[in-house]
Every structure is written in structure tokens, then in C-alpha cells.
Amino acid sequence: MAKKELLGLFKEASSAADAAESLEKIGVPNADFEILTGSPYPSGAFGEEEPKHKVYVFPFIGAALGLSVALLLTTATQAAYPLVTGGKPILSIPPMAIISYEGTMLGAILFTVLGIIFESRLPKLKLGLYDTRITEGYIGVLVSCETGSAKKVQEALDSAGAEEVKQ
């Protein structure tokens, strides 16, 4: 079946929390509705699930890749141009350590930025319903539901105290 989006606009935060609760009661999964607000509220203030993130994994992957590339670059360069000077070894560890450290930090930083962008769900290519009153203090509950259950969702939003339900 086709999906339909409904946007309920609420003036009070308690009404929006009641709407989230009534949506869960009628069987709308937590992943199918989103709370839109222009004001910062703590996570879970409207009864939604705590979002799971994996931002901490990205720096470790970036650091490992940065270290690998740095070691490969320094080792390959010294092996490709073997200049023996004064009987010293071809693979010189102290300069390799500095380049390895810098490569590790660069990889960790770049992957952290990419992880933040990825976990923030940017860029959001498909924009849903929106109302400019959300930036003026209203709270929006954006629900994505099947076309057949749209009437039931609209009744749940209305019963929670929505000032308007947009389709």
C-alpha cells in the first residue's frame, strides 16, 4: 500500500506527548512518527524512543585507516628509493612514527566529521510535510502511515488536541 504523511500541529508540549502516546496505542510504530520543534527539548520528552547512534565507531575506523595509509606511504616510499646514508637502516622508525601519528589523527578527524554528517541523516533528500508555525513555537507530529489507516491516525491526533492536521 501507499504511504501517506500527516502533520499534526500542537501548541503545548503536553498535547504533543499525548499525541505520541495515542499513536503508539493505535499501533503506529515509533519509527513512523517524528516530533518537529523549533525549541530544544531533551530526548524522550514526548515519549519517543532514545535514538541509537554509532558515532563512536567512525573515529576508530578512521584512525585505523589513517595509520595503515601512513605506514604504507612511508614504507613504500623508503623501499622505492633505498638511499643508504652513513650505514643507517633504510626504514627509519622515528620519522615514520611522526607521519603515522599525523595520519592516524587526520583519519580519525575526517571520519568523525563524516560520521556526524551520516548520523545526522544529512542530506535529507526527501522533505516531508512542514509548517512555518513550527519555527514560531508550535510542535509538529509528522506521521507516516498507510493510506488505509490515515483516518484513524488523524482521529488520534485530533483527540490529543491538535490545532490542525495537514495532509
The set of cell numbers assigned to 153 is 491516525
**Model confidence pLDDT, tens digit, residues 28-58:** 888 888 899 998 888 888 887 777 889 999 9
- pTM of full prediction above 0.85: no
Does the domain at 3-39+137-166 match CATH 3.40.640.10? Answer given as no
φ/ψ (deg, to 5) at 149 = -100, 10
Q: For CATH 3.30.70.260, list the domain ranges present in the chain.
A: 3-39+137-166
**Model confidence pLDDT, tens digit, residues 108-136:** 999 999 999 998 888 877 777 889 999 99
